[in-house]
């Protein structure tokens, strides 16, 4: 058996020498050790920040079209290595191979999309109150960005943070999740081949307590872009407060799916299932709770249960044609078990699933539908992050929206109806960053992925996500 790979931090355009300590990365499907990654020291973290700081002015002075060409070349490298990269993602994260392949291709497309903004970043000329004066608004880079990644879409999130940062003239220090860092180091190997100027892109791996704290408290970091839990996001806000560092936070979600009496039930079942089992329910915009109209509740729950029960799941490295893999770790599995057991004690009925899957290894939970749920239950209020769908019966759109809005989260939502007027009413009433009508919960790169309440601050994607990485500079010029 060959030795497992040992990765090193990437600072100032070079992979570093051997680290003082390492973290083992394991496969959630079978527990095997996949690699060793560095647990960065305080010195390494500071070196990465300093390298990014030193490189930033030169990078910002580089014409945007030249910055875009680097992104295009990185995208080409990714497309040349899709199968290998997808396999690495599947091994360390547990998502099915088809989804990992989509993630790699989508990441390459995202780099190209953001590169396309090189000639379209715009300021404004503003009318003055004074005669002979012109007011110009320029968009300028912030400086150094800290990109702190989650483990659920670890490859795509590199690009979601890096691409808008770099195209607007910022430099970046990336911290991958210690659960899923291998794909980030493989991304970096390919990036290293395109000759990106030293210091523009840096990677330091390690625990949140050590690396995350160092990045979020540094007075040399000009923006922190984080995707993860509300608890960690709140801690980052507190850490960044003394320096008043700009924050871009994508946090949790508790996405409601509203199924009305005129809905196409087969379409609704297909879309809601797809929005739940994708990545084993470990996505912030997954459908997390269902409000179904009483007139169609029995039929809908029956159809949904059949569809969830038929979900093909297992070890994505040894089985083909799967829809779902394992949860990321034992703690995640324990959380799902606890939430379902609590829901059962509170009166929910298990229609299908409801227990740990009977497989030889891995953190697998059966696709689950819970009927008889009500708004006071923990499972209707707290994020599950697993393949469980709790269902509550309602009597009207207004009741469903009121329950949907009564949440500490406000990221995504969905509505199933064949009436356009009803759909527009729902959109106007829902207090969410995104609403999907008659389709699965999956955003477009040209949209704007942002939420309300505890789902975060700022957003990503499209023009508005790009401009998150800029500041304005207004000049008053008197002729």
Convert the pLDDT of each residue in 424-471 to its tens digit. Answer: 999 999 999 999 999 998 998 999 899 999 999 999 999 999 999 999
Structure tokens at 466: 């790009």
**Active site includes 103?**
no
- Look at residue 98 in the predicted model and tell me its pLDDT: 94
Q: Please state, in angstroms and rounded to a whole number, the distance separating the CA atoms of residues 97 and 99.
A: 5
Exactly one of 284, 288, 373, 440 is catalytic; name it. 284
Rg of the chain's alpha carbons, rounded to an integer?
A: 23
What pLDDT, in 10s, does the model give residues 353-364? 999 999 888 899
Exactly one of 92, 103, 250, 434 is catalytic; name it. 250
**Active site includes 284?**
yes
Going by C-beta distance under 8 Å and a sequence separation of 6 or more, which residues neighbour residue 406? 375
Do the beta carbons of residue 459 and residue 468 sit within 8 Å? Answer: yes
pLDDT band at 2 (very low <50, low <70, confident <90, very high): low
Query: Is the pLDDT score of 115 beyond 80?
Result: yes
By the 10 Å C-beta count (0-12 exposed, 13-18 middle, 19+ buried), 290 is classed as buried
What pLDDT, in 10s, does the model give residues 272-304? 999 999 999 999 888 999 999 999 999 999 999
Q: Please state, in angstroms and rounded to a whole number, the distance separating the CA atoms of residues 230 and 150.
A: 12
Do the beta carbons of residue 38 and residue 8 sit within 8 Å? Answer: yes
> Any idea of the CA torsion for 293, 298, 409, 337, to the nearest 10 degrees?
170
Do the beta carbons of residue 449 and residue 461 sit within 8 Å? Answer: yes
Strands (E), 364-404: 368-371, 388-394
- Look at residue 20 in the predicted model and tell me its pLDDT: 80
DSSP assignment of 319-351 = -SS-SB---SSHHHHHHHHHHHHHHHHTT-EEE
What pLDDT, in 10s, does the model give residues 317-335? 888 899 999 999 999 999 9
Query: Is the pLDDT score of 1 beyond 50?
Result: no
For the entire predicted model, the pTM comes to 0.93
- What is the mean predicted confidence (pLDDT) over 69-88? 97
């Amino acid at each position: 058996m060959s030795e497992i790979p040992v990765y090193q931090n990437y600072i100032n355009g070079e992979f570093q020498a051997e680290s003082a300590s390492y973290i083992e990365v394991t496969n959630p499907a079978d527990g095997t050790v996949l690699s060793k990654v560095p647990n960065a020291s305080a010195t390494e973290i500071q070196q990465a920040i300093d390298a990014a700081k030193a490189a930033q002015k030169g990078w910002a002075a580089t014409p945007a079209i030249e910055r875009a060409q680097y992104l295009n070349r990185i995208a080409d490298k990714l497309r040349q290595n899709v199968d290998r990269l997808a396999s690495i993602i599947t091994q360390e994260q547990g998502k099915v191979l088809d989804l990992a392949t989509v993630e790699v291709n989508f990441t390459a497309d995202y780099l190209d999309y953001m590169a396309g903004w090189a000639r379209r970043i715009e300021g404004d000329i503003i009318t003055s109150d004074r005669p002979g004066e012109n007011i110009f608004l320029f968009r300028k880079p912030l400086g150094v960005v800290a990109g702190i990644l989650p483990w659920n879409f670890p490859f795509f999130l590199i690009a979601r943070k890096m691409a808008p940062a770099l195209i607007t003239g910022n430099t970046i220090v990336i911290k991958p999740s210690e659960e899923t860092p291998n794909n980030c180091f493989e991304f970096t190997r390919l990036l290293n081949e395109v000759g990106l100027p030293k210091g523009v892109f840096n990677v330091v791996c390690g625990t949140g307590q050590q690396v995350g704290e160092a990045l979020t408290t540094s007075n040399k970091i000009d923006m922190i872009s984080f995707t993860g839990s509300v608890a960690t996001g709140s801690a980052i806000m507190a850490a960044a407060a003394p320096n008043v560092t700009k924050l871009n936070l994508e946090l949790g979600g508790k996405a409601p799916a509203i199924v009305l009496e005129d809905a196409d039930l087969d379409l609704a079942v297909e879309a809601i299932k797809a929005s739940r089992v994708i990545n084993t329910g470990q996505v912030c915009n997954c459908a997390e709770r269902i409000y179904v109209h009483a007139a169609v509740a029995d039929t809908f729950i029956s159809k949904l249960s059949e569809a969830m029960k038929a979900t093909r799941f297992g070890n994505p490295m040894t089985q083909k044609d799967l829809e779902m893999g394992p949860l990321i770790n034992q703690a995640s599995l324990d959380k799902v078990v606890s939430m379902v057991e609590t829901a059962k004690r509170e009166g929910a009925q298990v229609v299908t699933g409801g227990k740990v899957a009977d497989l030889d290894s891995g953190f697998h939970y059966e696709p689950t539908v819970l009927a008889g749920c009500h708004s006071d239950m923990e499972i209707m209020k707290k994020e599950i992050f697993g393949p469980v769908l709790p269902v509550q019966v309602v009597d009207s759109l207004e009741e469903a929206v009121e329950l949907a809005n009564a949440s500490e989260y406000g990221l995504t939502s969905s509505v199933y109806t064949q009436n356009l007027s009803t759909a527009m009413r729902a959109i106007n009433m829902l207090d969410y960053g995104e609403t999907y009508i008659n389709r699965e919960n999956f955003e477009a790169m040209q949209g704007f992925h942002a939420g309300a309440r505890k789902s975060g601050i700022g957003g990503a994607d499209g023009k508005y996500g790009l401009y998150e990485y800029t500041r304005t500079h207004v000049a008053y010029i008197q002729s």
